[in-house]
Structure 1
Amino acid sequence: MNRRSAVFAFALGLAFVSAPRLSLAAEDHVAEAITHTKEAISTGKAGHADQLVAHAKAALTHAEAAEKAKANPHVAEGITHLKAAVEHGEMGHADIGTTHAEEALKHLEMAK
């Protein structure tokens, strides 16, 4: 019993030490996702579908990392819209891709 208690205490301590880091990592990724989403919107409004795709993919990478570190329904919804932004941007539809990026931005900002 004593050995089990020691292992449990160690595991619990490790969980408490690493938990804040996971939260900070998620926040950092959300911030990066927001930055890239804003760039996607800016380039999409200028009609540059290829640049919209590049920034939306970068935002998507960070949003997915944030969701993996700490689940959040707003991040999940942002991911859905970023995927749609990439899909439409790849078809050359900068206007529709921009609309999805703007929706993604709203959700990502709510996740902060």
Structure 2
Amino acid sequence: MNRRVFALALSVGLGLFLAPRLALAENHVGEAITHTKQAIEHGKMGHADVLVTHAQEALKHANAAEKEKANPHVKEGITHLDQAIEHGKMKHADVATTHAEEALKHLEAAGK
């Protein structure tokens, strides 16, 4: 009986310890999605500089999410955010927007 109680207590404790880490990773993905959507919105208006600002913020959150819990979709989203930033800095709003849209697809897949 004592072993069962100990095993149950250990399982619950471990679950409570890991739960906040998973929640933080999901929160970072959510923030990355929000900023990526804003980057796309501004990119479609031709505002490459504002696109870069939001893509950089999305990248910070995506990197934090990847650090907390590795995910191939987040990793691919990071790659496209990097490209969006690079092209946005060159004032190529259309190409940057395309990369931001691709990043969004991957980040949304990671958030599910």
Partner of 2:108: 109
Partner of 2:99: 100
The 5 Å alignment of 1:56-95 reads: 56-95=55-94
Deviation at 1:76, TM superposition (A): 0.3
How far apart in 2 are the matches of 1:26 and 1:83?
Answer: 20
Partner of 1:55: 54
How far apart in 1 are the matches of 2:15 and 2:91?
Answer: 47
Partner of 1:44: 43
How far apart in 1 are the matches of 2:60 and 2:28?
Answer: 9
Q: What count of residue pairs does the alignment treat as equivalent?
A: 102
Deviation at 1:100, TM superposition (A): 0.2
RMSD: 1.5
Partner of 1:21: 20
TM-score (normalizing by structure 1): 0.86
How far apart in 2 are the matches of 1:14 and 1:81?
Answer: 38
Secondary structure of 2:46 counterpart: coil
Unaligned runs of 5+ in 1: 1-11
Deviation at 1:19, TM superposition (A): 1.1
Secondary structure of 2:95 counterpart: helix
Q: Percent identity?
A: 63
